[in-house]
């Protein structure tokens, strides 16, 4: 795909992220290349935005979908990270053939991406032979929601998770003035009335604008129809409540029907195993995780009543609770990555955060820090330098059994480290 095609193609993505992408490609279009090697030299480390493959926790395959989604990995993925819809589809096919996995969780943190490839991936999710559940952690917007909505159930990890932004956008970039400033003039020779109706080498005409609008409207109708089909509601409901381009946060997303509730990753793994043992059909998987309803209940005894009437039971619960709390704090401490001490300290003493919660929070904070650094460095617009190709490095892919064995060995050597963190550290080469 040419740079101009990338700039003008329809996108299902949050507007701010689209502007960031266009700025990077516009820099290339002007001839001011972003020197990846120079950016890495300034950061003192490789960008290392390799897409993560799936890993398995208690029989459930967890497939991360992070960053901007494109059909193939590209320049923006190198700078800010992202996911390829083709590679996600490959991983889903592998999971369907993996006897170690009976269910799938799509762990999504993405602002969306290109329309190209999204409908195909969503169809693969919807027709998967094994149960698929989506869990949004951070953001699930536009194309990411298109894909996530195709799962049998959709959850958010916390009440600050951002969901929605259902819409499509395309842009037209007139480069004629920029070429003129460089002493260049492009003349296009074409056949067919609409072949260059929205040429980038001239101002956008009324006819060209209408052609682009028609394409965007058609793609938007596909998006709306897909969400209605996936969520089991009418297109009118989607248009009225969900698909005006807004983003919804936490409970707002639940109220309009975009997601089914709030759940942690660990809880979903437990529920999917319970569903399998209970023999629930694929269509009913994980739907039993629902927010607690308020209603008339028998009054619960107070701590004071239990202590007065059953002191032995009260003492047992106190000892058990103290042991469990110490174990929880140690497990949270085990997720520490240097630079995030304050975050870990706050989660250690909030009385509720699990090791899995801490791992996700630290990884999200680390990713945010790295993205901010990459964006800051990219904005410096480094001057082109002579690039020497990096020596080829053999990338030996671990087998699933080797990865599992190394992760368990790492957990044994580092008490308090959970399985998910161990897998990510091993895949990251640590």
d(C-alpha 312, C-alpha 307), whole Å:
8
What confidence tens digit (pLDDT) does each residue in 338-355 have?
Answer: 888 888 888 888 888 887
195 in active site = yes
Measured between its terminal Cα atoms, the distance across the chain in Å is: 35
SS3 of residue 142 by DSSP: coil
292 is catalytic: no
| pLDDT over threshold 70, residue 189 | yes
Range of weakest confidence among 90-104, 129-143, 305-319: 305-319
Contacts of 177 (CB under 8 A, 6+ apart): none
Order of all β-strands in the sheet with 82-84: 11-13, 112-114, 68-70, 82-84
Q: How far apart (Å, rounded) are the C-alpha atoms in residues 286 and 276?
A: 10
Residue of 2, 177, 185, 195 marked catalytic: 195
pLDDT in tens, 263-293: 999 999 999 999 888 776 555 555 555 443 3
* Residues 392-408, mean pLDDT to the nearest whole number: 73
Domain extent listing, the chain: 3-291
Burial per residue of 198-224, b for 16 or more beta-carbon CB atoms within 10 angstroms, e otherwise: bbbeeebeeebeeebeebbeebbebbb
- Whole-angstrom Cα distance, residue 111 to residue 136? 11
Burial call 25-36: b when 16+ CB within 10 Å, e when fewer: bbbebeeebbbb
DSSP, res 283: G
Q: What are phi and psi of 106, to 5 degrees?
A: -85, 110
Q: Which of 80, 103, 137, 142 is catalytic?
A: 142
Per-residue DSSP letter, 259 = -
The whole model's pTM is what?
0.56
**pLDDT, mean over the chain:** 76
Given a cut of 70, is residue 240 above it in pLDDT? yes
Alpha-carbon span 200 to 7, nearest angstrom: 10
Domain 3-291, what architecture? Answer: Alpha-Beta Complex (3.90)
């Amino acid at each position: 795909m040419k740079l101009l095609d990338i700039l003008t193609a329809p996108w299902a993505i949050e507007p701010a992220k689209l502007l960031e992408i266009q700025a990077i490609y516009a820099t290339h279009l002007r001839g001011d290349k972003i020197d990846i090697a120079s950016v890495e030299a300034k950061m003192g480390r490789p960008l290392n935005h390799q897409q993560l493959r799936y890993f398995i926790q208690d029989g459930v395959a967890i497939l991360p979908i992070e960053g901007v989604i494109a059909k193939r990995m590209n320049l923006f993925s190198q700078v800010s990270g992202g996911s390829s819809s083709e590679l996600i589809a490959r991983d889903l096919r592998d999971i369907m053939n993996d006897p170690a996995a009976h269910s799938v969780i799509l762990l999504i943190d993405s602002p969306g991406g290109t329309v190209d490839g999204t409908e195909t991936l969503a169809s693969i999710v919807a027709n998967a032979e094994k149960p698929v559940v989506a869990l949004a952690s951070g953001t699930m917007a536009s194309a990411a929601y298109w894909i996530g909505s195709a799962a049998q159930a959709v959850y958010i990890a916390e009440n600050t998770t951002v969901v929605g932004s259902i819409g499509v956008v395309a842009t037209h970039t007139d480069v004629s003035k920029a070429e003129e400033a460089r002493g260049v003039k492009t003349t296009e020779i074409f056949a067919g009335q609409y072949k260059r109706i929205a040429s980038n080498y001239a101002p956008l005409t009324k006819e060209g604008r209408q052609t682009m609008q028609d394409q965007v409207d058609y793609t938007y109708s596909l998006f709306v129809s897909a969400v209605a089909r996936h969520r089991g509601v009418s297109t009118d409901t989607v248009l009225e409540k969900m698909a005006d381009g807004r983003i919804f946060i936490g409970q707002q997303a639940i109220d309009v029907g975009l997601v089914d509730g709030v759940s942690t990753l660990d809880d979903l793994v437990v529920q999917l195993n319970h569903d399998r043992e209970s023999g629930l059909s694929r269509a009913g998987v994980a739907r039993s995780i629902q927010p607690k309803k308020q209603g008339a209940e028998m009054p619960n005894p107070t701590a004071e009543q239990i202590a007065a009437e059953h002191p032995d039971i009260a003492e047992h619960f106190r000892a058990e609770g103290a042991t469990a709390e110490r174990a929880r704090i140690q497990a949270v401490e085990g997720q520490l990555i240097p630079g995030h001490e304050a975050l870990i300290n706050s989660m250690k003493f909030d009385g509720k955060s699990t090791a899995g919660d801490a791992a996700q929070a630290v990884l999200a904070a680390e990713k945010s820090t790295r993205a901010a650094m990459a964006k800051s460095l990219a904005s410096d617009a480094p001057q082109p330098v002579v690039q020497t190709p990096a020596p080829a490095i053999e990338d030996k892919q671990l087998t699933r059994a080797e990865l599992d064995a190394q992760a368990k060995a790492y957990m044994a050597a580092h008490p308090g480290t959970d399985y998910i963190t161990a897998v990510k550290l091993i895949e990251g080469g640590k």
